[in-house]
Amino acid sequence: MGFILASLAFLVFLGLFPLTAPHSELWVEPLVALFAGGYLWRRGIRIWGGALLAFGAGDLLWSLEEVREVRENFLLELPYFLGYGLFTLGLLRLPGRPPRYALALLPLALAGLYGGLGVPAGVDRVYALWDALLLLLFLPRAERLLYNSNFKEALVLVGLLLFLVADLAYVLLEAQGGYPLGHPVHLLWTLSYLFWVLGFGPLAFRGFLGPGLVFLGLWAMPATLLGEQSPSGLRLLALYSTLVGGLGLLYADFLERRRIAEKQERWGQFLEHLTRLSPRVTQTLSPEALLLEALKAAQELWPEAVGLEVRARRGLVGERTSHAVPIPMNGDTAFLYFRAPPAQDFPGALSLLGERIRQGLRQMEWGAMALQDPLTGLWNRRGLELELPKLLALASRYAAPVSVAFLDIDRFKSVNDIHGHPVGDEVLRRLGAIIGASVRREDLAVRYGGEEFLLVLYGADLEAAREVVERIRARFQGERIPPIPHPLTLSAGVAGGRVPGSLEEMEEWILKADFALLRAKETGRNRVTFA
């Protein structure tokens, strides 16, 4: 870094000191262009490297023409034409956005157009009009810098501005009496070549060095053009360019600070959402609800997010789109879907999101194990205590009837006594699977104890409850469970069938269904009794 600053200071001294300024323009400027172009060319930046090599060759031919007093020749202009062509191509390939604030630089293009029309028709007029066009192409690239503050990119753009202002100053000097050899304006070309190398090269700038170099480049314009050799119009142009460029960089810095503050606020909201992704046992979030909360957390960082999917669990909330980004989840396949490619990147956020989803799903599995019967996978009595108030609230909200049914396996004790408890466990598993496949998501299916099962059927009157119970009895009776030689049957008691008014009323229905089941058992089993 110290070498770079010392080199810049030495070049500035050579360009401004009266005795060395002519030699600086004749030899230092073309050599800097050739070395800078060769460096960029070797690094694979062929367009800008080729432009610098062409400008360096043109400057060297111009220097030889000045020293040997060679008569002007159109062939000597060919390197410049090549350089301008590559310069234009490189400028078109730089990203930009529609100019708004950068329109403040529009007077430079108008000045270039005015200066071009003021010189005699010929090559200089072509260069002047070409520079005016390049200034217009420069505006969208300068506008983008306001919204994407990057000092490497800023060095490239300041180098472009120095080059174009130097060309514009040359045209104005030619129009007002001729360009004197060794004029300080040549230093702007030299600095522009170096800024391109620093901006496109791999060198990283830390601390204040990057902004310092950018402001040094802007300061170079008034420093070289405010001398007595420059007409008043050129001095005004230099001051205006520096003022607009400086204010633009300050505004870009302001926007960057505001973006950082907004990004930090969004990070805070994202992390706050993540803390709510842990399902407590008292709330028992469903997997869909957990993924929906995760999607809302992601939308704090990426408003474009519209869907989230964990494929191993067949869980999808929102919508699936073609813009998918994988979420790391230690083995599970998960994706976050976007309406359009995300505008911003938040390193580490997807890993945090994936880990929180994984932990939440794992905690839900543990919570379900505490609330579910391990043999049948149905709710246990603790699960019933937690889920019954939710079903009551749902039924009250939509004025939906609820029915309660108790099921009991007939002569189950004899199955255990004759065939053993492993066969009895298989009978319970088969019945649990049949019940689970016969009820809906809103219903509650509970292993109440031993061979007794309780159904709380949402939106079902007594007739609908009878259909559900008979369907379960028919499927269970059709099961063949070796080594039991005969079909197994169920007895059932049903109660309710109305809109429940309170939790106490539903608990009363459970008792009535239990008594109805007892009557079915007493009257011969394998039947359904209503309370």
**pLDDT, position 69:** 57
pLDDT tens-digit map of 47-58: 999 999 999 999
CA distance 100 to 354: 40
pLDDT digits (tens, 9 = 90+) for 357-382: 888 877 777 666 678 888 998 999 88
The CA distance from 491 to 189, in Å, is 98
In angstroms, rounded to a whole number, what is the distance separating the alpha carbons of residues 138 and 118?
23
pLDDT of residue 284: 52
User: Which pLDDT value is given to residue 9?
Assistant: 73
Mean pLDDT of the 197-218 span: 76
The tally of CA atoms less than 13 A away on the side-chain side of residue 51 is 18
| Helix 186-200 and helix 209-225, axial crossing angle in degrees, nearest 10 | 160
- pLDDT score, position 312: 67
Q: What is the pLDDT of residues 499-529, one digit of tens each?
A: 999 999 999 999 999 999 999 988 888 899 9
pLDDT band at 112 (very low <50, low <70, confident <90, very high): confident
Question: Does residue 85 surpass a pLDDT of 90?
Answer: yes
Query: Pick the residue with more confidence: 294 or 220?
Result: 294
By the 8 A CB rule, do 492 and 455 touch?
no
Tokens in use for 41?
Answer: 């060319």
Q: Based on the number of CB atoms within 10 Å of its own CB, is 176 exposed (0-12), middle (13-18) or buried (19 or more)?
A: middle
What is the predicted pLDDT for the residue at 245?
83
Measuring CA to CA, which residue among 188, 190, 169 is closest to residue 119?
169
DSSP 129-153: HHHHHHHHHHHHHHHHHHHS--HHH
φ/ψ (deg, to 5) at 274: -65, -35
- Please state the rounded mean pLDDT for residues 141-166: 84
Greater confidence, 34 or 236? 34
Tell whether the model's pLDDT for residue 2 goes beyond 80. no
- For the cut 80, the answer to whether the pLDDT of residue 286 exceeds it is no
Q: How confident is the model at residue 68 (pLDDT cuts 50, 70, 90)?
A: low
Highest average pLDDT, of 71-85, 134-148, 314-328, 391-405, comes from 391-405
Tens digits of residue pLDDT in 439-487: 998 999 999 988 999 999 999 999 999 999 999 999 999 999 989 988 9
Q: Give the SS3 label for residue 286.
A: coil
Contact 395, 433 (CB under 8 A): no
Give the β-pairing of 402-409 and 334-338: unpaired
Residue 398 has pLDDT above 80, yes or no: yes
In this prediction, residue 281 carries a pLDDT of 38
**pLDDT higher than threshold 70 for residue 287:** yes
What is the structure's pLDDT at 121? 65
Overall average pLDDT of the 144-162 stretch: 83
CB 205 within 8 A of CB 149: no
CA-nearest of 350, 319, 347, 349 to 334 is 350
Average pLDDT over residues 195-223: 77
Over residues 335-339, the mean pLDDT reads 92
Give residues with Cβ within 8 angstroms of 419, minimum separation 6: 483, 484
Residue of 47, 29, 50 lying closest to 38 (CA atoms): 50
- Would you place residue 436 in the very low, low, confident or very high pLDDT band (cuts 50, 70, 90)? very high
| Percent above pLDDT 90 for the chain | 35
Residue reference for tokens 């989803």: 357
Q: Round to whole Å and give the CA distance between 16 and 24.
A: 9
Within 8 A by CB and 6+ apart from 349, the residues are 267, 270, 298, 301
Mean pLDDT of the chain: 85
Name which residue leads in pLDDT, 131 or 230.
131
* Whether the predicted pLDDT of 187 surpasses 90: no
What's the pLDDT band for 306 if we cut at 50, 70, 90?
very high
DSSP state letter for 72? P
The whole-number pLDDT of residue 232 equals 77
- Give phi and psi for 507, each to the nearest 5: -65, -35
